[in-house]
Copies of this chain bind each other. A is one copy, B any other.
Amino acid sequence: MAKPDDRTVRTRRRSDGARTHEQILATAMELASVEGLGSLTIGRLARELDLSKSGVFAHFRSKARLQQQTIEAAREVFEREVLEPGLDAPDGLARLESLCEAYLSYVERGVFPGGCFFAQLLAEFDAPRGPIHDEVVELQRGWLALLERLIGTAKERGELDSSVDAQQLAFDLYAPLELANYLSVLRRDPTVVERGRTAIRATLTSAGRREGDRNRLGGRPTKE
């Protein structure tokens, strides 16, 4: 607060520690999406950001807190890159399709260099017990609950057949989204995402009350 308008500043020092904190988390998300949250080390982050190990450490005071905050930062990216655009569509079937397409687009655009942060987290912490496992359970529950809620609304509006099992359909939609993510990263080929689009389209069509409904999930890939 002493010298707020100092224009002689070298490069950083704009908003002091907060800016560094953000940069650390941004790098942490990238590293974790590629190599896993377990491979994320404070020393590695320090090297990557040209800071001292203790400098990085001071921002979090424990590795567990670094991991928690990295997950939280990734949650915000997911919110901005998938949930917000995905849910910005008319309620019902259109919103369900839009959400699936938003996820596939997020994979296709390579928002995280190692693919979906949470797909990585699911596979990494599905088995080992601990606080991160518990958080992944909650995150997955929330994701599936969201899909089930949209499916329920689409059923109420008569856009999906009333005989549809919402939990099963949520599983049926989630599966190709996940596989499209893993395979597109594995092959370094975002066109695999098109397989996911085709699968989603077919699943929604066969769950629909009639195929005359306009299907907005077309074959046009997202330009970026």
Chain A positions within 8 Å of B, measured between CB atoms, are 33-36, 38-39, 113-115, 119-120, 122-124, 126-128, 133, 136-137, 140, 167-168, 171-172, 174-176, 178-179, 182-183, 185-187, 195-196, 198-199, 202, 206
Taking a contact as CB atoms under 8 Å apart, the answer to whether A174 and B185 are in contact is no
Chain B residues, Cβ within 8 Å of A39:
38
Taking a contact as CB atoms under 8 Å apart, the answer to whether A119 and B127 are in contact is no
Taking a contact as CB atoms under 8 Å apart, the answer to whether B171 and A176 are in contact is yes
| A123-B182, A175-B176, A179-B179 given; 20 more Cβ-contact pairs under 8 Å | A34-B127, A36-B124, A114-B126, A114-B128, A120-B123, A122-B182, A123-B124, A126-B183, A136-B186, A140-B183, A168-B199, A171-B179, A171-B199, A172-B202, A175-B175, A175-B178, A175-B179, A175-B199, A178-B178, A178-B179
Partner among B36, B115, B175 whose Cβ is within 8 Å of the Cβ of A36: B36
Taking a contact as CB atoms under 8 Å apart, the answer to whether B140 and A186 are in contact is yes
- A208 and B55 alpha carbons, distance in the complex (Å): 61
Chain B residues, Cβ within 8 Å of A115:
126-127
Partner among B35, B126, B199 whose Cβ is within 8 Å of the Cβ of A186: B126
5 contacts between A and B (CB under 8 A): A35-B128, A36-B38, A126-B182, A127-B185, A168-B198
Taking a contact as CB atoms under 8 Å apart, the answer to whether A137 and B36 are in contact is no
Chain B residues, Cβ within 8 Å of A33:
127
